[in-house]
Amino acid sequence: MAKILLEMKNITKTFPGVKALDNVNLKVEEGEIHALVGENGAGKSTLMNVLSGVYGYGTYEGDIVYDGEVCKFHDIKDSEEKGIVIIHQELALIPYMSIGENMFLGNERGKKAAINWDETYGMAEKYMKQVGLSESARTLVKDIGVGKQQLVEIAKALAKNAKLLILDEPTSSLNESDSRALLDLLLSFKKEGMTCIIITHKLNEVSYVADKITVIRDGATIETLVKGKDDLSEDRIIKGMVGREIADRFPKRKDSKIGDVNMEVKDWTVYHPLYTERKVVDHVSIKVHKGEVVGISGLMGAGRTELAKSVFGRSYGTNISGTLLLNGKEVHLKNAKDAIRHKLAYVTEDRKGDGLILGNPIKVNTTLANLEAISSHSVIDKDKEYAVAVEYKEKLKTKCPTVEQNVGNLSGGNQQKVLLAKWMFADPDVLILDEPTRGIDVGAKYEIYCIINDLVAAGKSVIMISSELPEILGMSDRIYVMNEGRIAGELNREEATQEKIMSCILKSSSKGE
């Protein structure tokens, strides 16, 4: 039996009005990968913030025993000195600084008044090699992909002599192959004796890397599952997380009646807005029928979002060519307003950046894309606005005290629901959903799927862009596979499998080279 590296005993943390953590216990052995799972808002991140000193000693009750001694961290510096390093979900890298500068930010090599750049870059490259990065340490962070940026974060942690590495949703913005590489890296660290705590929503990853799984629900520890002793299947974990068994992760669609073609895109080509010679979407033709869910699968950077945004009133790209037919009639959309008027909706993948006004209440966000509907002669009827917001809140089961609540205070799943409400209120015929379930928990995902089913049952068309293959397979009537800006394949519901989608991508890549 290995030694216990970390023990968190009876941690209780209260925020004004809410008990975020209630007597949570967590035991982590040296050299293991310990997964922390739970729905959004269950308290995982709060627990890790207590551990890393973001919430300092004295703001919580209970003890943290690390390496045999009770720790009283007052800030992140204290915990990092002990070798506890946390990598947050949102990358904390500065785009216009080099990899080396980022890695030693706040931890600069050399003297205070004279940074030793040779040492900085030399050491940076040493750590980068450990994580499998072959770039020069002088490369600017903005010039490398998200997957590599995540590796830089890990290298940064190594540079701080991490003994216990905490990763908060490390793969949420990575595609399948980058995620796999990252997880393999963690497994190789484990062999060298590193201890890791990983927070993730992707349960297949949990079963892949974790030795132990602790399930947190509503701020309390529910159970700890041990590899080799307990059943670690996804269904078993989900049961722990939601407190009940989800019979089917994808709700059945009742009578899906697929009607006429609602929207058709022909020969659509889009160039990059800055590097205008780069083609991002290359002669793409797709169509979607009434009452149909069309999935668009593909790796990150395949051009899916770019396709969607450019169709949605030329909100992305330059030199757009091709034809767009709505209900069989050719239309030319000049901007987003035009697109909305033609009953198109684009629900962005980046709900915080492109979708919601976080500092504004739910009601304001709900009505923003269709203010005309609640106003007469440009004067807003605020009572009507309130009623609309409440109606959609109830329809989509958004969890919030009132619709006056600022969207920024909601959990990811509920934010996504507000975003959906906003676009449903705009009353579109075709909805393009870009990664509609990114970063939200299992229970909320299921609810979003139900909403999608309701939409198509009402005769609307849904185009769903997703990087999660199970979701694409579980929800779509038809699937387009995109790769490098082109359509690499089209699959029917019956014939589609994960392998077929991947092989479409691989085949098209080899053709392109």
Partner 1 sequence: MDKAKLKVGIQKYTMIIVLVLVMLFFTWGTQGKILLPQNITNLISQNAYVFVLATGMLLCILTGGNIDLSVGSVVCFVGAVGGVMMENMKLPVVVAVILMLLMGAVIGAWQAFWIAFLRIPPFITTLSGMLVFRGLSNVVLGGKTLPIKSEMFVRLFGGGANCYVPDFLGGGEGLNRVALLAGILACVIYIFVTVRGHVNRVKKGYDTGNVGAMYGKMVVICAVILAVSYKLAQHKGIPTSLVWVLIVVLIYGYITSKTTIGRYFYAVGGNEKATKLSGINTDKVYFIAYTNMGLLAALAGMLTIARMTSAQPTYGQNYEMDAIGSCFIGGASAYGGIGTVPGVIVGAVLMGIINQGMSIMGTDQNMQKVVKGLVLLAAVIFDVVSKKKNS
What residues make contact with partner 1 under the rule CB under 8 A?
A: 16-17, 312-313, 315, 335-341, 346, 348, 353-360, 364, 368-369, 371-372, 375, 378-380, 382-383, 386-387, 390, 422, 426
* Distance from chain centroid for Cα 200: 10
Smallest separation, CB 357 to partner 1 (Å): 3
Smallest separation, CB 338 to partner 1 (Å): 8
In angstroms, what CA-CA distances link 129 with 124, 132, 199, 266, 437? 9, 5, 25, 46, 34
Smallest separation, CB 408 to partner 1 (Å): 9
Mutual angle of helices 146-159 and 117-130, in 10-degree steps: 110
Smallest separation, CB 85 to partner 1 (Å): 25
Tokens read off for 354: 């492109």
User: In terms of CB distance, is 228 or 359 closer to partner 1?
Assistant: 359
User: In terms of CB distance, is 14 or 175 closer to partner 1?
Assistant: 14
User: Facing residues of 63 across strands?
Assistant: 9
User: In terms of CB distance, is 183 or 356 closer to partner 1?
Assistant: 356
User: In terms of CB distance, is 50 or 419 closer to partner 1?
Assistant: 419
Smallest separation, CB 218 to partner 1 (Å): 21
> CA-CA distance, 284 to 298, in Å (whole number)?
14
User: Facing residues of 225 across strands?
Assistant: 213
Do residues 467 and 433 touch, judged by C-beta distance below 8 A? no
User: In terms of CB distance, is 255 or 383 closer to partner 1?
Assistant: 383
Tokens read off for 476: 């779509």
User: In terms of CB distance, is 335 or 497 closer to partner 1?
Assistant: 335
> CA-CA distance, 369 to 497, in Å (whole number)?
37
Q: Is 195 in a helix, a strand, or coil? A: strand
Smallest separation, CB 391 to partner 1 (Å): 12
Q: Quick one: CA dihedral 275, 277, 280, 286, positive or negative?
A: positive
Smallest separation, CB 68 to partner 1 (Å): 36
* Distance from chain centroid for Cα 358: 17
Count of CB atoms situated within 10 Å of the CB of 158: 19
Give the position of tokens 């929207």: 263
Smallest separation, CB 325 to partner 1 (Å): 21
User: In terms of CB distance, is 371 or 458 closer to partner 1?
Assistant: 371
> CA-CA distance, 427 to 369, in Å (whole number)?
10
> CA-CA distance, 221 to 138, in Å (whole number)?
44
Helix or strand run (H / E) with residue 214: strand 212-217
Tell me the Cα Rg of the chain: 24
User: In terms of CB distance, is 225 or 333 closer to partner 1?
Assistant: 333
